Structures are given as structure tokens and as C-alpha cells.
Structure 1
Amino acid sequence: MARLLYRLGAGAQRHRLLVVLVWLVALAGAGLGAATLSGPTSDSFSIPGQESSIARDKLQKEFDSGGGATAKVVMKAPDGQQLTAPANAAEVKSLVSELGEQPGVTTASDPLNPGAPTVSPDRTTAYSTVTYGSAAGEITSDQRSALLGTVERADDGAFTVAVSGQATMATPSVGGPMEAIGVIVALVILAMTYGSLVAAGMNLITAGVGVGIGALGVSIATGFMELQSTTSILATMLGLAVGIDYALFIINRHRQELRRGTDVETSVATAVGTAGSAVVTAGITVFIALAGLSVVGIPFLTQMGIAAAATIVVAVLVAITLVPAVLGYLGRRVLPRKQRDAPVEADSQRERGFYQGWIGVITRRRVPVLLIALVALGVVAVPAASMQTTLVQTPGEGTTQAKAQQLLADGFGPGVNGPLVALFEGSDAPQTAQRAGGAIAELDDVATVTPPVPNASGDAAMLTVIPESGPASRATEQLVGDLRSELDGVAGAESYVTGTTAVSVDVAQALDSALPVYLVLVVGLALVLLVLVFRSIPVPLVGVLGFLLTLGAALGATVAVFQWGWLSGAVSLDSTGPLISLTPILMIGILFGLAMDYQVFLVSRMHEAHHRGHASREAIVTGFRQAAPVVVAAALIMFSVFAGFVPAGNATIKSIAFALAIGILVDAFVVRMVLVPATLALLGERAWWLPRWLRWLPVLDVEGTALTDGDGTRGETRSDEERTRVDVNP
């Protein structure tokens, strides 16, 4: 692989104009395609084939609901008054009439309609259901603004008015001010790392080309399939972070070669052949982790995983083709001015100072360092034991959506914000629904059961069940199970239970059952790859076990902030509650891939030093000195990119971005730069042990030793027997 990438890097550098033009044309084509072919996105999470999804589709068909987006406009009478008073009733009808004339609205229900009233028992609060002809992802900003403007004007009058629902939620977008701050921080870190603003800007621009093509490609895909609104954000977040990091590793190796006195063309090719090999290997591990989400059998997770994995592929291709092409144009300008004509330095003259002291302490005090780090990570992981998840999103405090939900909860009870629907199908469906209503009303946590509503043909009927508890509560989740048990095998009709909480319960169960399969597949494939890379059994095992510690700490910190409310102000968190159900599995997929990135980049330099003949401890120190500075920079960059999506992020992205940001810090600075070298130092030569019966495995040569050992220009190599010898004095 190293020789192949060496030739690829040399070719990209020689034909740099063609390479740059090809990537620019690809970017322009993706932009044109996104502008002309992109379609709407969805904010709903459901799984085809689950009971709640089947029932939802049947409701749309049997009751001709059309599936259009809805909003609830809630109105509350002035203190001491009732909405049914003649003057107030006239105001209600006037507002409903105005709502019905909004652009895109098909109907606006009258809460005072005697046939279907939606007024609270004390007659002080009511709501009108506004239905649009388009799905939630197709509501235009003008339609949304018109609705919100009407509600705001009505709220300025005597009534208290607010609105919530799908139609009020804008599709999350990329490119806000906080995300821009994250990119600026990344640029500053790059400039400090390189000592050159030119190199820093070049790194950021090449990464931007890759993430641009990836994100625009996702936008094009929305024109041909229904994608979640968070898919593009996730792909952008990951693509930008890894794109910057992958280019950083290649540019850093190129700068090292230049300082050794290598000419520009050979240096670029060598950087792609060595660091590029590590980039490709790391990219494969991330790809496996993300594409592996498809095995869980949940369509929206498959879409997210494939979209993000495709963006990673683009980032890798940019790093090994566009980056060397641009480096060819820059020449020695990637170095600070004072280093361009400086005398050649030996490796031993560089990489001293802080990192030398860091790795020295870790290798000398490996046992206490291990114990302290393990205890610290264990403490941080404790909150993860009380983690709760849901798909029910809580609107931000102070928004009209939160205000509307509070008005509804005060007037009708918390359960009105998360009603459940029982659907009956069969020739006796209305009668069966009538009989079942009485039994349902006796269940725990049931506040109200509405009379059965039959469809036009009389072969289906539905009951609306209003829980006593809110939609994200455990009591309501328990009610979903109780309802299904009560209706299981009911005579006279086939029954289903759906609703927001029912969908959340079904998705959670599907995720729980799929998670073990996903872990075995992804971790197993990654272990095989890492065994090939390092030709060792202990090193991959240490890397994977370290990831488990990272995962526990990241989940624990996320639960403490988002569920318990600790330091919630630091992340602009409006309200606390269960984590979004997608958070754990997406964290596992993304963090595992990124953790293996750092494992490959850091330990590959240790393995390279060991391959050249250094003893175990000396190889750890040498490899750490060389790789740690760039790993630190890469981790800080990735942290800043993820953290940029936290303060202003939507509910789904906010917790995921926070968990990834914390996970990156823990994995890079505690696991990879403390636990891994301390464990390898403790194992000594045993860290590089590979059973004889596995030595037939192919050599991937991530370190590019074939480029140096083949002509004898660098170091000496040891035989298998020498490498497996136990270092008795580490």
C-alpha cells in the first residue's frame, strides 16, 4: 500500500493542475446538482414494519389524514374569564378564520365546535389544529413565518397565544455563527501547529472542498429519497473534522521530510506513502464503523451512516490526491520562513521539550498513571448507569413551542402533548373500540379516552388516549406496553397502538436489539484490520478496550449535563431530559472510528520505531515524540469542530455533538496519550506479540517501511524472533 500511495502522491504532485481542476469541477458539479435536484427532508423518526409505523400509515389511509404537517395554536383567555363567553368566543372564531387563510393551510379546526370541542374543562384554554397540505419538510419559510407572525400578533392582544407542532419547526441548517467559530478555532490551531498561515489556510481549504462535495452530495440525494434533516449536518460535522485532520497528518509528514533535506517532489510522495497509508487505514476504520450502522436494519440510521461514510471516503481521496497537488504548488512555503533555508536536522534534534517529559513520566510511572487514569474515567462514567433515552424532543425554553406545550399541560394535563392512538380494523371495529375504551380507561396513567371515531366505510375506528404524564415520561412509556397488552388478542378487530411515545418505544427496542450485533461486527472487523496493521494481538486489544473507557466517560458526561443539568448553561441547554435515542449508537459508531484514527496515527509511529530496531520502551518514546504533537493538534481541531455544533445546535445534534467533543478529548488526551503508552510500556516486548500461526497474514505497511528499508536508507529491521523477544529491562 505504501508503494502504491507513493506513486499516487508523486503523480498528483506532477499533474497538480489537472488534479486541482478535477476537484474544482467536482465541487461545482455537486453545487449545481444540489441547487437543482435537492428535495425536502424529514424530522420524524420511525421504522417501517414496527407496530407504531404500521398504525400511523393505516391512520393516514383509513381516515384520509393526508399526512400533512400540523400545528396546534393554543389560546388562553384573560385571567378570570372563559373562552366560551360571547366576546371571547368571537375572538376565537376570528383567529381561527385567519389561521385558515394562511398560505399552505388546508384546514384550521374550531375549538368551540360543539361536535368536536377542544376546550379545557375550566373553559379557559383551547387549541386549534392547523393542517397544511404539505409534509413537515416541505413547509416553506414564508408559510412558517406567516403562521408565527399571526400567532405573535394575536398574543399581543387580550389572549395568550402560542403555537407548537411539526409545521413550526424549521429544518436545521449548517453554517451558523457557532459553527463558524469552530472553524476559526481550527484555523488558529493549524496556524500555531505549522507556524505558517499559508499552510494552515491550505489545510482548511482542501478539507472544505471535501466536506463541500460530501454535504452537497447528501443534498442531491434528498431529491431521490427521504432523508432525515440531521443527515447532512452529521456528514458535514464528520467530514470537516476528519478532512482537516487527514490533511494535517500528511502535511506534517511532508514538513518533516523537507526539514530532513528531502526535495519537494520526493517529500510529497513520501508523505503520501507513509502518513497517507495511515490516513487510508484510519479512514477504513471510520468507514467500517459508519457503514456498519446499516446492519441494525433501521432505515434512517442506515442513511445517516452511509452518508457520513461517503463523506469520509471523499475526505480520504482529497487527502491523498488534492493535498499533494497543492503541496506541489506551495513548495517549501509550507515551512515557516526561518526553516526554509535552515540546515538539515537529525530526528534526535527535534520533538523535545514538553512531549519528551510527558512520555518520560508515563513510561517510568506506568502503574500509578494507569490506576489514576482508570479511576478518573470510571468516576466520569458513573452517570451513564442512569441514562434514559427518547425520541420525544423538548422545545427550547422561552420559545413559542415551549409556551404552547405549557399552556396545553396547564389546561388539559401533561399527557395532551403526547396522545396515544389505538386503531381497530375489522367489520366490528367501531363496536370493539367502544368496548375496549372502558377497559383502557381503567389502566394506570390514563387521563381521558375519547369516544371511538369510525372511518367512512365503518371497518376501522380509532380511540385517542390522553395519558396523565408527559410524552417523555417513563409512565407514558409504560402505558404503551400496558395498552398493547390490554388489546392483544381482542376479539372482533385487529388492534394497533401508535403516537409519538409509541414510536419512541419501538425505535428504542429496535436499537437495543441491534446494538450487540453492530458492536460485534464493527469491533470485530476493526480488530482484524488493526491486527494486520500492527501485526500484534495486544495492541489492537488495548486500543479497543481504551475505546470502551472513552465511550463510558463520554456517555457519563453527556448524561450529567443533558439529563441531570450539570453545567447546562455552558452548552446553552434550555431544558433537561432523556437523551435522544440515537445518541448512544451514533456515538459508538462515530467515536469508535475516530478513536481508532488516533490509535493508528500514534501507535504506527511507535511500531515504525520498533520495526527499525528500537527496544520496546525506546520505540514508545520515539514514536510518541514524533506523533503526539500532531495528534494533539488533530484532537483540538476535531473538538473545536464538534463543539461548534453544540451551543446553537438543534435538540438532536446538540447532545450528539457534545458527546463527540467530550469523547475526542478523553480519547486523545487520556486514553491514547496516557493509557495506551503506559500499557504498552508495562507489556514491554509482549505488546508486539503475534502468534506464529498468524504470521502468514499480509503486511499492510502503514508506516511505509517498504519505501525506506528496501533501499537501506533508513535504520535496520529485526527478525520476527528478535521482535518477539521479551524485553526484560523495559
Structure 2
Amino acid sequence: MSEYLFRLGRWAFRRRRWVLGFWVAAAIATIVAATASGGQTNDSFTIPGTESQRMTDLLKQKLPAVAGGQTQVVFAAPPGARITDEPYRSGVASALGQVPGVPQVASVSDPYATPGGVSPDGRVAQSFVQFAAQPADVEDASLDRLQDAVKPAQAAGVQVEYTGSVYPGWRIEVSELPEVVGLAVAFLILCITFGALVAAGLPICTAIIGVVIALMGVNALAAVVDIASTSTTVALMLGLACGIDYSLFILFRHRNQFLRGAPLEDSAALAVGTAGSSVVFAALTVVIALCGMAVVGIPFLTVMGLCAAAAVTIALLIALTLLPALLGFAGPRLTRFFSTRVRPGHHEKVARTSAIEPARTFGARWARFVVRFRIPVVVGGVGLLLVMAIPALDMQLGLPSGGSKPTSNTQRKAYDLISDHFGPGFNGPLMVVADAGVPPAQVQQLAAAFAAQPGVAAAAPIAAND
């Protein structure tokens, strides 16, 4: 493989204008495709083969009124008061009277007429607002109208919080600020490491181009395929990390060879042929691992893995083609080092020592130390890893809930109110669907049988089709 990579690196170096033009055109094409297609990622996902998914599909087919998104509105009276007292009860009743007029709302429950709607201590009431659309399809305007509808309860002094599969503020806005900050920090570290502006900027530029192509391609594909919004986040993180990492392998080898006197073209080709082999192996390992997410059989995880694998593949191709082309454009400017008044010539001295006398570097001294004291190093390293793994003994796995949200979040406040006043089980109710034409009398008997089971706090029928 090294021979083929050597030829590829030499070809990209010699045809650098064509290579650069191709990748710029690819970036422009994906941007245009993403814009023209109008593709957008979504937050809906399915888990085929599970009981919950079969129940969801059955509800969509036979009882669509309760198959959509649901908001659990929690009303809490001030400390020492009861939600059944005036003026709190009137405020809640007035609010619930306006909720049916909210767009996309199919039904709303009355906590005062529903068993279990009011907490045993009488301070908190909960109402379930059923939407006709799936959570991902519930419009923000409808949620805003829901907030307006419950204002009479707030005006009466009632605390109103929300939870459920969809509620005001439920959408997670993914910020690109962490990635921007990460790029700035990475550029600063590369400037310190390489001591040259051009050498530090090349890995950042290639990573950004790869990420743009990957993300725009994913958005364009989202016009015809359901793609979870988290897919772009994973693709962005891996695309940036791998894009910078793979370029560093090749760039560092090229600069050292050039400092030792190798011609630019030969150095770039040799760097791709040698360090490029490690890059290919590393990238293929990551791609195979990401594609392995398809084994789970969950569609949104499969798509997420494939999107991330595509981003890593693009980072690999850019490192093997665009980077050597940019090395041709950069030429000897890669060795234009910073020079400060405090330590003039320090960066160049460090770089030339690393290239010409690598045995004098700190890395070489550290390697000799590890080899010489290998037994204590192994024992100490394993001991440190064991100490770091101690928290894993108390690891608790599970899906995130309202209890994992910040205390300032409305879902967390609703979760705490329900848990404190109704009991912890009310935050995770179990829905049972019977598909056998059960008569109403038997439905009541079935609910009573469930309520009699150990650990069950309450059970009640929700709805039935005609």
C-alpha cells in the first residue's frame, strides 16, 4: 500500500491546482445541494421489534388520538395551600378551559375529575395534554399557545411546570460554539507545537473543508432519508478530530523530511507513503467501528454511525489528496518559524533538533525512561487506571429523564413536584394497550387487576376506540 500512497501523494502534489479545485467544487456542490433540497434532520426515531414500538404503531393505526405527543402540565399551589382551594382551583379550571383551543391539541384531562389527578396532600395537580401530531411534528407555535392558555392559573398564584414527550422548550438547540472554541484552542496548540503559522493552519483548513462537505451532504440526504439531528453533531465532532489528526501525521513527517534536506515533492510523496499508511489503518478502524452500529438494528443509530463514518472517510481522502496539494502551495513557508524577543530562534531550533537529532528530544528521553524502568511503569500505570475506574463500580445506566435536567429546567421542576407529592413512580407510568375488542366492563376489571399488583400505585383506563 505504501507504494500506491506514494504515487498518490506525488500526483496530488504535482496536480495541486486540479486537486484543490475538485475539493472546493465538492464543497460548493454539497452546499448548493443542501440548500436546494431543503433537507433537515429531525428528532423522531423508531426501535423496530420492541414492545414499545409495536404499541406505538398499534396506537397510530387504531387509536391515533393518543398516539401523538403528550405534555404533562403540573400545577402547584403555594406551600401550605391546596390546589383544590380558591382561587387556585378556578385559575386551573380557567386555564384548562382554554387548552382545547390550542392548535394540534386533541384532548386535555381534568385533574379534578380524573383519579390520581390531584396529589394525596392536595397541593399539586397534573393534567395531560394530548396532541394529534407526533412530538417531532408538534409546532413551536402550538407550544407557545399552550403557555398562553395556562396564564390564568399563573395569574391566580399557581406554579405551572411542563414535562412529557413534548413541552415548551423541549427542543435541544445544538450550539456550534464548543466546536469554534475547540478549533481556536487547537490552532493555538498547533502554533506552539509547530512554531509556524502556515504549518499550524493547514490541519485546521483541511478539517474544516472536510466537515463542510460531510455536514452539507448529510443535510442534502435528509431530504429523502430520516436522519436524527444528533447525527450531524457526531459527524461534526469526529470530522474535526480525525481531520486534524490525520493531517498532523503526514504534515509532521513532511516537515521533518524537508528540514533534513529532502526536496519538497519527494518529501510530500514520501510522507503520504509512510505516515499515510498509519492514517489509512486508523481511519478504516474507526469507519468499521462506526458501521458496526448497524448491528444493533436501531435505524437512527445506524444512520448516525453511517453519517459519522462518511465524515471520517472524507477526512481520510482529504488527508491523502488535498493535504499534499496544499503542501505544494505552501512550499518552504512551512518552515517560517515564529521568533520572539524572549527566546529568538527557539522554535526553529526545536524543530530542527526533532528532525535531525530526534534522540535529543523529550519524547526520546521519555521512551528510554519507560524502557529502562518498564516494570515500575507498568505497575504504576495499571494501578492508576484501576484508581480511575473506581467510579465505575457505582455506575447506574438508564435513559435520561427529567431528573437528569438542571434544576432551573421546567421538566426538572415538574419531575421534582411529581416525585415529591405523587410518588416517584408517577414520573414513569407504564402504558398497556389491549387489542382484542375488550368490552368497557372488562377494561375496568383489567385496570383493577393492575392496580392490585405489588408496587402499583394506581391504574386507570385512558381511552378506547369505537
Asked whether the two chains share a fold, i.e. TM above 0.5, the reply is yes
Alpha-carbon deviation of 1:425? 1.9
Alpha-carbon deviation of 1:78? 3.2
State whether residues 94 and 153 of structure 2, in contact with CA within 8 Å, keep that contact through their aligned partners in structure 1.
Answer: no
- Structure 2 counterpart SS, 1:389: coil
Distance 2:116 2:108 in 1: 9
Could you list the per-position Cα deviations for residues 361-387 of structure 1 after superposition, in whole angstroms to 9, with x for gaps in the alignment?
Answer: 100111111111112212222332443
Alignment of 1:49-68 (within 5 A): 49-65=49-65, 67-68=67-68
Match of 2:43 in 1: 42
Match of 1:325 in 2: 325
Alignment of 1:573-722 (within 5 A): none
Alignment of 1:413-562 (within 5 A): 413-428=423-438, 430=440, 432-450=442-460, 452-453=461-462, 455-457=464-466
Inter-CA distance 150–367: structure 2 relative to 1 (3 Å threshold):
farther
Could you list the per-position Cα deviations for residues 516-564 of structure 1 after superposition, in whole angstroms to 9, with x for gaps in the alignment?
Answer: xxxxxxxxxxxxxxxxxxxxxxxxxxxxxxxxxxxxxxxxxxxxxxxxx
- Structure 1 counterpart SS, 2:308: helix
Distance 1:295 1:32 in 2: 33
Inter-CA distance 201–347: structure 2 relative to 1 (3 Å threshold):
closer
Inter-CA distance 156–371: structure 2 relative to 1 (3 Å threshold):
farther
Alpha-carbon deviation of 1:284? 0.7
Distance 1:297 1:29 in 2: 32
Inter-CA distance 80–364: structure 2 relative to 1 (3 Å threshold):
closer
Match of 2:342 in 1: none
Distance 1:456 1:64 in 2: 9
Distance 1:341 1:398 in 2: 53
Distance 2:354 2:197 in 1: 25
Query: Over the residues paired in the alignment, what is the CA RMSD in angstroms?
Result: 3.0
Alpha-carbon deviation of 1:443? 2.5
Inter-CA distance 347–251: structure 2 relative to 1 (3 Å threshold):
closer
Inter-CA distance 133–63: structure 2 relative to 1 (3 Å threshold):
closer
Distance 1:21 1:389 in 2: 48
**1:397 pairs with 362, 384, 407, which one?**
407
Match of 1:621 in 2: none
State whether residues 41 and 228 of structure 2, in contact with CA within 8 Å, keep that contact through their aligned partners in structure 1.
Answer: no
Moved more, 56-65 or 235-244: 56-65
Could you list the per-position Cα deviations for residues 560-593 of structure 1 after superposition, in whole angstroms to 9, with x for gaps in the alignment?
Answer: xxxxxxxxxxxxxxxxxxxxxxxxxxxxxxxxxx
Inter-CA distance 112–173: structure 2 relative to 1 (3 Å threshold):
closer
Could you list the per-position Cα deviations for residues 256-307 of structure 1 after superposition, in whole angstroms to 9, with x for gaps in the alignment?
Answer: 1211112222222111111112111111111111111212323232222211
Alpha-carbon deviation of 1:226? 2.7
Match for 2:42: what amino acid? T
Distance 1:302 1:343 in 2: 44
Alpha-carbon deviation of 1:199? 2.1
- Structure 1 counterpart SS, 2:328: helix
Alpha-carbon deviation of 1:342? 12
Match of 2:252 in 1: 252
Inter-CA distance 282–119: structure 2 relative to 1 (3 Å threshold):
same
Mapped pair 1:127 → 2:135: no
Alpha-carbon deviation of 1:439? 3.5
Gaps of 5+ in 1: 458-730
* TM-score (ref. length: structure 2): 0.87
Inter-CA distance 141–213: structure 2 relative to 1 (3 Å threshold):
farther
State whether residues 64 and 132 of structure 2, in contact with CA within 8 Å, keep that contact through their aligned partners in structure 1.
Answer: no
Match of 2:419 in 1: 409
Gaps of 5+ in 2: 338-344
Match of 1:9 in 2: 9
Inter-CA distance 280–155: structure 2 relative to 1 (3 Å threshold):
farther
State whether residues 88 and 156 of structure 2, in contact with CA within 8 Å, keep that contact through their aligned partners in structure 1.
Answer: no
Alpha-carbon deviation of 1:408? 2.1
Inter-CA distance 32–140: structure 2 relative to 1 (3 Å threshold):
farther
Could you list the per-position Cα deviations for residues 178-227 of structure 1 after superposition, in whole angstroms to 9, with x for gaps in the alignment?
Answer: 33222221111111111112222221121011122222222233332333
Match of 2:341 in 1: none
Inter-CA distance 138–271: structure 2 relative to 1 (3 Å threshold):
farther
Match of 1:378 in 2: 386
Inter-CA distance 78–221: structure 2 relative to 1 (3 Å threshold):
same
Match of 1:167 in 2: 166
- Structure 1 counterpart SS, 2:434: strand
Match of 2:206 in 1: 206
Inter-CA distance 7–439: structure 2 relative to 1 (3 Å threshold):
same
Match of 1:21 in 2: 21
Mapped pair 1:158 → 2:168: no
Match of 1:307 in 2: 307
Distance 1:285 1:209 in 2: 22
Distance 1:89 1:10 in 2: 79
Could you list the per-position Cα deviations for residues 314-342 of structure 1 after superposition, in whole angstroms to 9, with x for gaps in the alignment?
Answer: 11011111111112111111223468999
Match of 2:264 in 1: 264
State whether residues 172 and 229 of structure 1, in contact with CA within 8 Å, keep that contact through their aligned partners in structure 2.
Answer: no
Mapped pair 1:114 → 2:113: yes
Alignment of 1:342-357 (within 5 A): 349-350=357-358, 352-357=360-365
Distance 2:377 2:350 in 1: 39
Distance 2:434 2:453 in 1: 18
State whether residues 68 and 133 of structure 1, in contact with CA within 8 Å, keep that contact through their aligned partners in structure 2.
Answer: yes
Matched positions, count: 454
Alpha-carbon deviation of 1:121? 3.7
Moved more, 360-369 or 408-417: 408-417
Could you list the per-position Cα deviations for residues 662-693 of structure 1 after superposition, in whole angstroms to 9, with x for gaps in the alignment?
Answer: xxxxxxxxxxxxxxxxxxxxxxxxxxxxxxxx
The answer to which structure, 1 or 2, has the higher relative contact order (CA under 8 A, 6+ apart) is: 2
Alignment of 1:166-315 (within 5 A): 166-168=165-167, 169-315=169-315
State whether residues 246 and 316 of structure 1, in contact with CA within 8 Å, keep that contact through their aligned partners in structure 2.
Answer: yes
Match of 2:395 in 1: 387
Distance 1:300 1:95 in 2: 38
Distance 2:282 2:130 in 1: 48
* TM-score (ref. length: structure 1): 0.57
State whether residues 40 and 138 of structure 1, in contact with CA within 8 Å, keep that contact through their aligned partners in structure 2.
Answer: no
Match of 1:358 in 2: 366
State whether residues 119 and 421 of structure 2, in contact with CA within 8 Å, keep that contact through their aligned partners in structure 1.
Answer: yes
State whether residues 69 and 166 of structure 2, in contact with CA within 8 Å, keep that contact through their aligned partners in structure 1.
Answer: yes
State whether residues 152 and 162 of structure 1, in contact with CA within 8 Å, keep that contact through their aligned partners in structure 2.
Answer: no
